[in-house]
Amino acid sequence: MKNKLVIVTGVPGVGGTTLTEKAIEALKKEGINYKMVNFGTIMFEVAKSENLVEDRDQMRKLDPDTQKRIQKMAGRKISEMTADAPVIVDTHSTIKTPMGYLPGLPKWVLDELNPDIIVIVETTGDEILMRRLGDGSRNRDLESTGNIEEHQFMNRCAAMTYGVLTGATVKIIKNRDKLLEEGVEELLSVLK
Ligand code: AMP
Ligand code: MG
């Protein structure tokens, strides 16, 4: 049987990475070993090696053709890592660029990854704005709650098209303030 491939998405700052790390820890205790792959990290390795950027938050400002070229290389690399274990790919449904919403999983990337489930991690625009303001470790874009909510709406639209293209199911999981554990439980239910 093919190993499960789950893609976890969410706007920057919603806590997709945190939720995923916690779920993977919990599963390890039950003897289920997922490999976690961060799409942005693989892209950053490529972009840095070509001297295109100095930090990962500069990548979404590159011209779209460059982003797509690196994205495709990352998709290929990740698909090579997925042969021997169930995998969670930590990434984004769309990337907000100066040229508009860039699909995180265009069809040529989906063809490489062949996902079973696409998870969207969400919370309210207000909570995301506050989390971004509190995160000094990253160059998060500061935008209004309305714009954050538009981004989440576009992410839902894009995620469902990825489902239509691949047959993957699309699961929406909430990561509300002070309710991280509930989000982790929900994520666990689709990973098991
Ligand atoms: P992250 O650490 O998840 O915020 O990702 C860092 C950066 O990697 C993002 O701002 C994007 O520029 C890039 N990135 C991550 N996933 C994708 C993807 N699927 N397609 C294009 N760019 C991506
Ligand atoms: Mg993240």
Given the CA of residue 68, which atom of ligand 1 is nearest to it?
21
Backbone CA torsion sign across 49, 51, 15, 5: negative
The amino acid occupying position 85 is A
Flag whether 64 is in a domain.
no
Flag whether 58 is in a domain.
no
Flag whether 45 is in a domain.
no
Q: In angstroms, rounded to a whole number, what is the distance separating the alpha carbons of residues 71 and 155? A: 17
Three-state SS at 118: strand
Nearest-CA residue for atom 7 of ligand 1: 40
How far apart are the CA of 90 and the centre of ligand 1, in A? 9
Count of domains for the chain: 1
Q: Which of 113, 110, 111 is nearest to 88 (CA)?
A: 113
pLDDT in tens, the chain (192 residues): 678 999 999 999 999 999 999 999 999 999 999 999 999 999 999 999 999 999 999 999 999 999 999 999 999 999 998 888 999 999 999 999 999 999 999 999 999 999 999 999 999 999 999 999 999 899 888 899 999 999 999 999 999 999 999 999 999 999 999 999 999 999 999 999
Nearest-CA residue for atom 1 of ligand 1: 40
Is 71 near ligand 1, meaning CB less than 6 Å away?
A: yes
pTM to 2 decimal places: 0.97
Which CATH number fits the domain that encloses residue 157? 3.40.50.300
Flag whether 67 is in a domain.
no
Is 56 near ligand 1, meaning CB less than 6 Å away?
A: yes
Flag whether 78 is in a domain.
no
Flag whether 175 is in a domain.
yes
Flag whether 187 is in a domain.
yes
Supply the range of the domain harboring residue 179.
Answer: 5-37+84-191
Flag whether 94 is in a domain.
yes
Q: In angstroms, rounded to a whole number, what is the distance separating the alpha carbons of residues 112 and 165? A: 13
